[in-house]
Amino acid sequence: MSTDLTQLHHLFLHAMLLRRVASYEKWLEVWKKSARILGINVSDNGFVQFYGEINDRIERFGFRIDLLCEEGNGPIDMDQIEQDTADNRRLKTKRWMALVNTRSDDSAKLGTEFNPTEISFYKKIVDNIILSANYRYCLSRHDCLRLTTTLQASLKKSDAEKCLRILVKKGWLNESRTGCYSLSIRAKLELKSYIEENYNEEDRPPQCAACREIVMRGFKCPNSECPKAMHVTCIINQSRQAHICPSCRSPFNYRTLIGEDAPKGESRATVDDEDDDPENESTQTTIEPNERRRSKRARIQSTQEPDELDDHDA
């Protein structure tokens, strides 16, 4: 097979550069429409090979077409899970597809849409979501706004609230019906490499034992020695296997929730900002050279008090 990209490849890639993130079905539709414009006959089963050919050419330049299944957001409906399981129903998860930059950090990806202070604010939100206590992986509005007090540059409460609205509108955050913020599909796709490079394995969200993607809404395996978890839909679709963990074969008991249903707790966000502050040199945690990749959660001081947000900051 020739490694040269055809006119159809280029037309499709141009569309992805303009839109970046859409459902798998939408990109399939774009591909077929582009083929019709060029007078080329295609069938649905050729789509995977088609975008695979694009990946073969663009991955060397730090780009990749990637896919991710939707986890949903907000509280988990346990009654619905029991009903779907009892009906032996197999759920079809919506898939999303995006052209992602695998080399740039999140600052580069946000640079054309936000100013440096807003980017720092978003990075704080991402860090606190990833390192949130008890596998919660979400923040309340108040928790997000409180992070403005940790920024080097000033960000008023009103500006932070506006930034949150734009982050949701632009698809960088999800806001649940209860007002909690979590990482969106776009963020999970675009920041996948960033998360892998900047967080140790024990700091990252657990991997699904079924689909191998990270789990930020679902259930942790009850076996404390097993690092795996499962998405809600993956558990339902595994019902024929009596809801056992595909990794360690332990039965799931739905007790260790992941996501907004998980109990709140003290944030395990990084103390890197405190480490960088010369005024804190006398109390900061000393990191030896061989601990450079040490878990960020392990470096949190249990006595650290959260910053309070003053209403008059607006």
pLDDT tens readout for residues 172-211: 999 999 999 999 998 999 888 888 888 998 899 999 988 8
Q: What is the DSSP letter of 94?
A: P
Average pLDDT of the chain is: 79
Q: Of 125-129, 163-167, 184-188, 249-253, which gets the smallest average pLDDT?
A: 249-253
Q: Of 41-50, 69-78, 123-132, 268-277, which gets the smallest average pLDDT?
A: 268-277
Q: Which two tokens stand for residue 201?
A: 């394995």
Amino acid sitting at position 287: I
What order do you get walking across the sheet with 95-101 strand by strand?
21-23, 95-101, 63-69
CB atoms within 10 A of CB 18: 8
Q: Which two tokens stand for residue 44?
A: 């649905």
Q: Which two tokens stand for residue 147?
A: 């992070």
Of the candidates 66, 64, 24, which has an alpha carbon nearest to the alpha carbon of residue 44?
Answer: 24
pTM of the full predicted structure? 0.75
pLDDT score of 25 = 95
Q: Of 160-169, 222-231, 243-252, which gets the smallest average pLDDT?
A: 243-252
